[in-house]
Structure 1
Amino acid sequence: MSSPLKSLHFAVFPLPAQGHMVPMMDIARILAHRGATVTILTTPVNAKRFNSVIERAVEAKLKLQVVELQLRLAEVGLPEGCESLDMLSSTDPWFKLLGAFDMLEEPAEQVLRRLSPVPDCIISDNFIPWTSDVARRLSIPRLIFHGPGCFSILCMHIVTSTSVLDGIESDSELFVLPGLPDPIEVTKLQAFGQSKPNATKPQVSDNSEAKTKEKKGYIERVQEGEKAAHGILVNSFEELEPEYAHELAKAKDKKIWCIGPVSLFNKSDLDIAERGNKAAINEHDCLKWLEGREPGSVVYVCLGTLTHTSLEQIIELGLGLEMTDLPFIWCIRNKTEELERWFSESGFEERVGDRGLIIYGWVPQVLILSHRAIGGFLTHCGWNSTLEAVCAGVPMVTWPHFADQFFNEKFIIQVLKVGVRIGVEIPVVMGGEDTAETLVKKEEVKVAVECLMNGGDEGEERKKRAQELAEMAKTAMKDGGSSIRNTTSMIQDITEQLAINV
């Protein structure tokens, strides 16, 4: 990569959620690689997850540092150490954790003022709105980072800023989102990414009037913070969604810089394996298992870090995978006594034998997806997972749960045309478990997976298209590629803005 146009100092504020933190840590290292000084402000638990990656960056002489901020968790009713959304139980509302992050404004500003030199620019997750006030008081530009890609951000913008939902009474009625390059149909529930469409964001367990007012105020602050931002960074690349990047810039009336896929910045197996957290399985053991499989024969299954899958759903998923007779790697978020009992008493592991590799906890997902043995990915449609599959040229079975995931599914199926739907229509509550109405049966798992892996001419077209997208992604992140040019453009823009502000 080329050297920076000016040695800037960026202060980076990631959201305490793996799907947001992982790409923002990549962005921090990309900027440091360009010669910038980067200070990452996060909490001790989140910092620890990236210790080894940061240490290697410092050893490589990158000007990168992490400043730890202490959360006042007891004041919001959370246990000590509960510092990331994936650590919340199904009964702990996500809003509590964001409330604790709200209390970091003053200590964070004090840290920034003590830094030498004082940061030239703040890069903040969109859901940390108080960084807008800090940037204003420091008289520096603020860029925001959204977790999803341009397509989903634009869809959510249309839902929240237009009257498109007026007159739509049924939660399950399909309607076309206006103003999009493609005819995208969604239901009201899918548009809000949750089981109740009347709330602005995923519901929480406490529905008191005071809490509702507080949540509404928080969302309004997020929206105002976005309006005040100098521009938006997106973990995507122009060739993937050119029309949507253009339309998003028009809709937001802001500069949009697509600077991804940032996962491709990681070159060493160690950086890839430890991207986001240390894996629950040794990457060499995982790759050794894959080496014994035929090219394109293995299904990789992972439903993300925030999904609380019920025991009944896990059983249905497992039985569906068994019925396919295909080799699979299955990542299960948490091992419980009930799950262990089912595995031991049902005979599942004995019947499946070495055909299945089950991993509990964090997995080296990018390494797995990029292995030649992987032929399909059963995914929850989180944007990181979606983009990592695109980079690896792997078609997907789509199983969205909440938030932007239903929009991402539409993008995978209708725009990219590299996926097969498992058939979910109703979102689950973020942080909650699936219910009877959202339960996916083993037969549905079997049909979708087999359709993806043995899809005849349509399957071959999906594979071909997936490989084409993977080549586009690699080109975007090479010297002279669109994302490299956009990173340079962003640095140039911030440099010019600072000159104006002097």
Structure 2
Amino acid sequence: MSLEICIVPFWGQGHIFPCVELCNHLASRNITITLIIPSTLTTSLPSSLRQHPLLRITHFPSSPTPPPHDHLVPELQTIFSANPTPPACAIVDVMMNWTIPIFAKLHIPTVAFFTSAACSAAMELAAWKAHPLDLKPGETRLIPGLPRDMALTHSDLKQRPHQPPPPPHDGGGGHGFHPPPPPPKLGGPPPWVEELEDATALMFNTCDELERPFINFIANHIKKPVWGVGPLLPEQYWKSTGSLLHDRDVRSNRKSSVTEEEVTQWLDSKPRGSVLYISFGTEVGPTVEEYEELAQGLESCEEPFIWVLQPSSGRPGPPNMGDESEEGFFPYGLEGRVGNRGLIIRGWAPQLLILSHPSTGGFLSHCGWNSTVEGVGRGVPFLVYPIRGDQYHNAKLVVSHLKVGYMVSEDMTVKVTRDDIVEGITRLMGDKEMKRNAEILGEKFLHGFPRSSVEALDYFMNFIKQRAV
């Protein structure tokens, strides 16, 4: 029986990239896919996917706010009218959960898709169940069903008060629907629990090898199927384990101050495992003051480093961000002072290449989930520097549960200082046991896409086929 599945991603590369890979996995199972996206996102999709014979792309009208449900129901009916059999289900990014009632009106079951880690959703549930507001400094609270090393602490409740809000649309300028999230109910469950009540199942961009306890915890609470179907990284990522992975073979190049060849040449000149890679992604970053502390810390250390500076990161980004490495632009002549010990990249960086190079020995990261699984899969230990939201949970997973990294500071509610940076880098890069822990974890992915996720996708397919009968 031929099946059609409708997929509704959120925009922004952290959502689009795993959605593209999910499309590839489903298409390889001979599934017809209808991808519903704002028209501005079409160019963000790789040409190989746009030209796939089993994929058709259709568009929501671009708008900063969602139109009334009754307005979109006839539009979706028109989309599916060419096929007398409606889609077997719709896979909906949780950031697009407002579309779930629309599919319900069309009698199309939905599966909620989290591009983030399962630990983030599990820890939100745990915090609600544990009523931790009375936790005191130094106290821990075990959560039945979760690993002991993920027990809630007083520091887990702290957030960075100075962090700017999330951007209203992706860094590439692709507009689409982004209704503001509802305020959490005092004493109530995480908002997504109620918002996804009509979903038939949940999918997470993770795997048993990383997060089985958290997948089970969520499934036991919501009493619905929960599948880990990731990490949803490019096919080339899995095939190139043990060798260099060139980003140009996977993702289109963006504006950058360096070429991949220049990065490779620089890395080739450094000893194995000696380079610290620093990147905060495209949408978040430290405060302006913390950027300056980071620059001073890197200058004070002896380790070679690659530092990626994104103009939009941290909104408004690094101070006096410019395209020229001059004294007047941040980081104010640091290149000249550190010489060949440091490589500063302005704009896009070939992250997959850097993480797969044997000279890379550490990753100072905000712990966005895509970056986290890319580093974990390559056996690189972390110095974690969470900025907002699920990054705190990812950081706790990396440090406390997977034990492949350190926090840059024990209290992330105060400014991270140069001393924090120096101490963290020295500790991480000098810890041979931590590096071995990361290598052992990375070895779990030596044989390609996780078998547990292949099986989870098979379970999903059987689940949908049974409902379609």
Q: Give TM-score scaled by structure 1 length.
A: 0.77
Q: Aligned residue for 1:157?
A: 125
- Partner in structure 1 of residue 361 of structure 2: 375
The residue aligned with 2:423 is 447
User: Is 2:320 the partner of 1:338?
Assistant: yes
Partner of 2:171: none
2:59 alignment counterpart: 68
Counterpart contact for 1:176–1:183, Cα < 8 Å: no
- Note if 1:498 corresponds to 2:450: no
CA contact (8 A) 2:58 2:79 kept: no
Secondary structure at the aligned position of 1:66 is classed as strand
Q: Deviations over 1:92-136 (max 9, x none)?
A: xxxxxxxx2466884476146423434221111112222211221
Structure 2 CA distance for partners of 1:204 and 1:390, relative to 1, 3 Å: closer
The reply to whether residue 47 of structure 1 matches residue 42 of structure 2 is yes
Q: Which of residues 21, 24, 29 in structure 1 aligns to 2:19?
A: 24
- Among 150, 172, 194, which residue is 1:184 paired with? 150
Which residue number in structure 2 is paired with residue 33 of structure 1?
A: 28
Q: Does 1:10 align with 2:5?
A: yes
Q: Distance in 1 between matches of 2:180 and 2:31?
A: 41
Work out whether 1:121 is the aligned partner of 2:97: no
* Number of the residue aligned with 1:316: 293
In the alignment of these two chains, the number of paired residues is 435
CA 237–105 in structure 1, closer or farther in 2 if over 3 Å, else same: farther
Spell out the pairing of 1:106-255 with structure 2 (5 A cutoff). 106-107=71-72, 110-111=75-76, 113-115=78-80, 116-117=82-83, 118-160=86-128, 162=129, 164-168=131-135, 174-179=139-144, 180-186=146-152, 190-191=156-157, 193=159, 195=161, 215=183, 222-255=192-225
The CA distance in 2 between the partners of 1:444 and 1:220, in whole Å, is: 33
CA distance in 2, matches of 1:166, 1:221: 18
Cα deviation, 1:430-474, whole Å, max 9, x if unaligned, reads xxxxxxx3x21112111111211112xxxx222222122222234
Amino acid paired to 2:57: V
Shift of 1:382: 1.4
CA contact (8 A) 1:300 1:378 kept: yes
Distance 2:294 2:215 in 1: 36
Asked whether the equivalents of residues 400 and 409 of structure 1 are also in contact (C-alpha less than 8 Å), the reply is yes
Aligned counterparts of 1:216 and 1:204: Cα–Cα separation in 2: 19
Q: Secondary structure in 1 aligned to 2:208?
A: coil
Other structure's SS at 1:71 match: coil
1:325 aligns with 2:302: yes
Runs of 4+ in 1 over 6 A off after TM superposition: 201-205
Asked whether the 8 Å contact 2:246–2:350 carries over to 1, the reply is: no
| Secondary structure in 2 matching 1:400 | coil
The verdict on how the C-alpha distance between 1:277 and 1:221 changes in structure 2, with shifts beyond 3 A counting, is farther
One-letter amino acid of the structure 2 residue matched with residue 372 of structure 1: P
Give the corresponding residue for 2:175. Answer: none
Would you say the 8 A contact 2:113–2:202 is kept in 1?
Answer: yes
Determine if contact 2:384/2:408 at 8 Å carries over to the other structure. yes
Cα drift, residue 214 of structure 1: 5.8
Aligned to 1:56: 48
For the structure 1 residues 38 and 402, does the alpha-carbon distance in structure 2 shift closer, same or farther, using more than 3 Å as the test?
Answer: same
Question: What's the Cα RMSD here?
Answer: 3.3
Q: Which amino acid aligns with 1:338?
A: N
**477, 482, 486: which one aligns with 2:449:** 477
Do the aligned partners of residues 185 and 203 (structure 1) sit closer, same or farther apart at CA in structure 2, a change above 3 Å counting?
Answer: farther
| CA distance in structure 2 between the partners assigned to 1:424 and 1:401 by the alignment | 14
Q: Is the aligned partner of 1:261 residue 2:231? A: yes
**In structure 2, what residue type is equivalent to 1:41?**
I
- Listed as ranges, the matches of 1:259-298 within 5 Å are 259-267=229-237, 275=251, 278=254, 280=256, 281-298=258-275
Amino acid at match of 2:297: G
- Counterparts of 2:364 and 2:457, CA distance in 1: 32
Contact residue 97 and residue 112 of structure 2 kept, 8 A: no
Matched, 1:304 2:254: no
Are 2:366 and 2:386, in contact at CA under 8 Å, matched by a contact in 1?
Answer: yes
Letter in 2 for 1:395: P
TM-score (norm 2): 0.82
1:406 aligns with 2:372: no
Q: Is the 8 A contact 1:152 1:408 kept in 2?
A: yes
> Using the alignment, how far apart are the partners of 1:239 and 1:487 within structure 2?
15
- How much has 1:142 moved relative to structure 2? 0.8
Structure 1 alignment gaps of length 5 or more? 1-5, 74-99, 206-210, 428-436
2:341 and 2:409 mapped to 1: Cα distance?
26
Q: Whole-Å Cα distance in 2 between the matches of residues 16 and 454 of structure 1?
A: 39
Cα distance change on mapping 1:414 and 1:286 into 2, 3 Å:
same
Q: Deviations over 1:223-251 (max 9, x none)?
A: 33322211111111112222222222112
Rounded Cα–Cα distance in structure 2 between residues aligned with 1:338 and 1:256:
46
CA distance in 1, matches of 2:385, 2:40: 30
- Cross-structure match for 2:370: 384
